[in-house]
Amino acid sequence: MAANTDRRRINAPSGGTSAPVFAKTVLESGYLQSLRPNRTRGPNELRKTFLQTGIVPSASGSAYLEVPTASSSQSTLIPPTSSLKIAASIQGPKPLPRSAPFSPTLVLTTTVKFAPFATRHRRGYIRDSAERDLGVHLETALRGVIIGERWPKSGVEVVITILEGDEDAWWGDSGAEGGAGSGFGLLNVLAGCITVASAAIMDAGIDCVDMVAGGVAAVTGDGQKVLDPCPAEHQDLVAACAVGYLASRDEITEIWLKGDVGADPDELIEGATHAALGSVSVLREVLLENMEAKMNITKEGSKRKLEDVEMTG
Amino acid sequence: MALPTLALPGTLLGPASKYAPGPGTHIHDSSVYASIAGTVASSPSLNPTTTRLPLLSISRPGEAGASDNGNILPEVDSQVLARVTRLGARFASAEILVIAPSAATSISSDAAVCSTPFAAQIRREDIRATEKDKVTVQDSFRVGDLIRAVVISLGDQGGYYLSTAKNELGVVVARGEGGEVLVPVSWREVKDLRTGRGEARKVAKPF
């Protein structure tokens, strides 16, 4: 963190914040571990997803995605799992600046930024290498789906703000404090970024060959394959894979494998595409619902209040 | 197969042997697929001499007319309304404000107002069709004039290339130094009605 110290602003302490330590966890050796969250959903079951488009009026397209946290138990201040909250906004397509060279296709720029408070380990105001890395992965995922030839001499900016990111481990683990976790949380963040950016692009009305959605699958220590792994619920993840998947074309535009996959990575990748199918169904429902609402507005000339619908992935 | 009323990107609309792809669609594996989210419309072919297939198009929801459509780009051969921003010795600079849809031959009520103006240039040799060597930029446009022009090229990194080398193209609204509207008296002159002072312009032929 010392490398990109921001001297112009007042920075918070670079170390993570710690939940209060209660005497009971010190006195009873097994008590802390008893608080550890367990995966209650099935191995093929995804977490619930909330998605909404059109949240930023000034942007040409925008979307917000949330994967809520599991219900918190009363006996501890340690949150059981981290949740995922991502906002995406699209600027453009707009003419390229004068300095930019001629481009016969759409110029795509992606910016991914964690809010300083997004993870337990505070992020700086300047983009660090993990954020730039996520930006490149997201750009790869979107580039394969956008029909760039329809927009010559134009640029579009995809700006992603991660308000809360999935942690790499459970907060109760002391090792998670250093921020040097397994890195499996980042895969969840990438999959969320792909899904929310896709929704925002549809909202902006930019031509795409298909709807791209993100999905994650992982292998646990005993060789079991789980979809949509939450690192806090799994202490023993061995490998994980995030994909950007085009459901109706059965194509993959982005793939990120992490960990020791073993001899057969195909099964893991296939699992991730199954998880992406869940995200696509959420995307599809949200977009159809928005379109119907918009058509009702234009027909009746009156604004209908959108009700929130709880959807399962 | 019946057409769906609503489509999302990647929705199969029909075989390419039965439909022609219009705005908002694309062809993949010899079938027409949707490429934006919106309502599906099928209209008879625009020029029945070349193809008899019905044209499939998708319009974005919430677009009542085309007037609030900020998502249109200038294409080659599309007519535009532009404002002159700068005069040079070899070309005039302008900004494109309104674009007619590519199918239409002239600017009408369904033209689209650009959300951001596009930079454009009119080279001296593209100002009028005849006696190109005698044209001067100074005697054809003034800064602030509204012109009707046609896009002849997407240009380089600088801007689109426009041309006014037709009778119906040229200055449509010209203002004098005091801001008073000048009226056209010939294809190359506008006059102030009050003072009778004339100025040189490449005037568009009124309809």
Q: What is the pLDDT of residues A242-279, one digit of tens each?
A: 999 998 888 999 999 988 887 788 888 999 999 999 99
Q: CATH homologous superfamily for B69-207?
A: Nucleic acid-binding proteins (2.40.50.140)
What pLDDT is recorded for position A76?
A: 64
Collapsed DSSP state (helix, strand, coil) of residue A276: helix
Better-predicted residue by pLDDT, B4 or B63: B4
To test the contact with chain B by mutation, choose from A53, A145, A207 the residue with the greatest count of B C-beta atoms within 10 A, namely: A207
Provide mean pLDDT across the span A38-48: 82
CB-CB under 8 Å, A288 with B8: yes
What pLDDT is recorded for position A150?
A: 85
| pLDDT(A89) > 90 | yes
CB-CB under 8 Å, A287 with B156: no
Other Cβ atoms within 10 Å of B88 Cβ, number: 12
What pLDDT is recorded for position B65?
A: 42
Tell me the C-alpha distance between B157 and A101, whole Å: 5
Owner of token pair 């992406």: A276
> Residue B108: which pLDDT band, with cuts at 50, 70 and 90?
low
| pLDDT(B159) > 90 | no
Tell me the residues of B at the A interface, defined by beta carbons under 8 Å apart: 6, 8-12, 24, 26, 28, 33, 35-39, 60-62, 64, 70-71, 73, 115-116, 118-119, 154-158
- The residues with which A257 forms a beta bridge, in sequence order, are A241
What pLDDT is recorded for position B13?
A: 86
Nearest CB among A151, A211, A291 relative to B10 is that of A211
Tell me the C-alpha distance between A241 and A239, whole Å: 7
Of all residues in chain A, what percent carry a pLDDT higher than 70? 83
Residue A281 Rama label (left phi>0; alpha psi -120 to 50; beta)? alpha
Using an 8 Å CB-CB cutoff, list chain A residues near B24. Answer: 207
Provide mean pLDDT across the span A71-85: 69
Other Cβ atoms within 10 Å of B85 Cβ, number: 15
From-to residues of CATH 2.40.50.140 in chain B: 69-207
| pLDDT(A75) > 80 | no
What pLDDT is recorded for position A71?
A: 64
Tell me the C-alpha distance between A211 and A244, whole Å: 10
> Which residue in chain A is spatially nearest to B115 when comparing CA positions?
A94
| pLDDT(B4) > 50 | yes
Longest Cα–Cα distance of chain B, Å, equals 69
Cis omega (within 30 of 0) for bond into A93: yes
Closest Cα in chain B, distance from residue A49 (Å): 20
Better-predicted residue by pLDDT, A16 or A208: A208
Tell me the C-alpha distance between B89 and B103, whole Å: 34
Provide mean pLDDT across the span B153-163: 86
Lowest model confidence (mean pLDDT) among A127-141, A188-202, A269-283, B99-113: B99-113
What six digits make up the tokens of A226? 């789980």
What six digits make up the tokens of B16? 């390419």
Closest Cα in chain B, distance from residue A60 (Å): 9
Closest Cα in chain A, distance from residue B115 (Å): 9
**CA distances (Å), A113 to each of A75, A97, A160, in order?**
34, 23, 6
What pLDDT is recorded for position A216?
A: 92
CB-CB under 8 Å, B35 with A208: yes
> Residue A308: which pLDDT band, with cuts at 50, 70 and 90?
low
Using an 8 Å CB-CB cutoff, list chain B residues near A209. Answer: 9-10, 26, 28, 33, 35
- Nearest partner of A167 among A51, A280, A79, judged by Cα: A79
CB-CB under 8 Å, A93 with B71: yes
Using an 8 Å CB-CB cutoff, list chain A residues near B62. Answer: 294-295, 297-298
E strand map for A202-298:
212-220, 225-227, 237-246, 251-259
B182, B144 Cβ separation under 8 angstroms: no
| pLDDT(A12) > 60 | yes
What six digits make up the tokens of B175? 């203002």
| pLDDT(A179) > 50 | no
| pLDDT(B81) > 70 | yes
Is A154 in the B-facing interface, judged by CB distances under 8 Å?
A: yes
| Residues A251, A83, A245: CA angle, nearest 5 degrees | 0
| pLDDT(A177) > 50 | no
Of all residues in chain A, what percent carry a pLDDT higher than 90? 27
To test the contact with chain A by mutation, choose from B71, B115, B160 the residue with the greatest count of A C-beta atoms within 10 A, namely: B71
pLDDT digits (tens, 9 = 90+) for A208-231: 999 999 999 988 888 888 888 887
CB-CB under 8 Å, A291 with B6: yes
What six digits make up the tokens of B200? 């040189």
CB-CB under 8 Å, A202 with B158: no
Provide mean pLDDT across the span A190-201: 93
| pLDDT(B66) > 60 | no
What is the rounded end-to-end Cα distance, in angstroms, of chain A?
Answer: 36
pTM of the model: 0.82
| pLDDT(A167) > 80 | no
Task: Name the CATH code of domain B6-59 (choices 3.40.50.920, 2.40.50.100, 2.40.10.340, 2.30.30.790).
Answer: 2.40.50.100
Provide mean pLDDT across the span B2-24: 83
Using an 8 Å CB-CB cutoff, list chain B residues near A154. Answer: 73
Using an 8 Å CB-CB cutoff, list chain A residues near B12. Answer: 248
Domain-wise residue ranges, chain A: 48-311
Better-predicted residue by pLDDT, B58 or A145: A145
Nearest CB among B10, B64, B73 relative to A210 is that of B10
Q: Are strands B12-15 and B31-34 parallel, antiparallel or unpaired?
A: antiparallel
Query: What is the interface size between A and B, counted as CB pairs within 8 Å?
Result: 86
What pLDDT is recorded for position A156?
A: 92
What pLDDT is recorded for position B61?
A: 72
Contacts of B168 (CB under 8 A, 6+ apart): B106, B148, B204, B205, B207
> Residue A33: which pLDDT band, with cuts at 50, 70 and 90?
confident
- Nearest partner of B136 among B144, B127, B145, judged by Cα: B127
B150, B80 Cβ separation under 8 angstroms: yes
Sign of the four-CA dihedral B127, B131, B136, B140 = negative
Using an 8 Å CB-CB cutoff, list chain B residues near A292. Answer: 6
Provide mean pLDDT across the span A295-306: 57
B98, B107 Cβ separation under 8 angstroms: yes
Tell me the C-alpha distance between B105 and A296, whole Å: 33
What six digits make up the tokens of B187? 């294809």
Using an 8 Å CB-CB cutoff, list chain B residues near A94. Answer: 115-116
CB-CB under 8 Å, A207 with B35: yes
What pLDDT is recorded for position A137?
A: 92
> Residue B64: which pLDDT band, with cuts at 50, 70 and 90?
very low
What are the counts of helices (DSSP H) followed by strands (DSSP E) for chain B? 0, 16
ipTM of the complex: 0.76
What pLDDT is recorded for position B67?
A: 38
Tell me the C-alpha distance between B65 and B82, whole Å: 21
Is A306 in the B-facing interface, judged by CB distances under 8 Å?
A: no
One DSSP character per residue, B185-202 reads EETTEEE-TTT--EEE--
Share the mean pLDDT of chain B. 82
Read off the amino acid at residue A283.
L
What six digits make up the tokens of A253? 């535009």
Tell me the C-alpha distance between A155 and A103, whole Å: 9
Provide mean pLDDT across the span A280-300: 82
> Residue B190: which pLDDT band, with cuts at 50, 70 and 90?
confident
What pLDDT is recorded for position A109?
A: 92
Closest Cα in chain A, distance from residue B59 (Å): 9
User: Considering the domain A48-311 in this protein, what is its CATH number?
Assistant: 3.30.230.70
What pLDDT is recorded for position A192?
A: 93
Is A304 in the B-facing interface, judged by CB distances under 8 Å?
A: no
Of all residues in chain B, what percent carry a pLDDT higher than 90? 8
What pLDDT is recorded for position B21?
A: 83
> Residue A196: which pLDDT band, with cuts at 50, 70 and 90?
very high
> Residue A16: which pLDDT band, with cuts at 50, 70 and 90?
low
To test the contact with chain B by mutation, choose from A145, A206, A208, A292 the residue with the greatest count of B C-beta atoms within 10 A, namely: A208
| pLDDT(B131) > 90 | no
Q: Are strands B160-163 and B112-123 parallel, antiparallel or unpaired?
A: parallel
Closest Cα in chain B, distance from residue A109 (Å): 18
- Nearest partner of A184 among A174, A173, A170, judged by Cα: A170
Share the mean pLDDT of chain A. 81
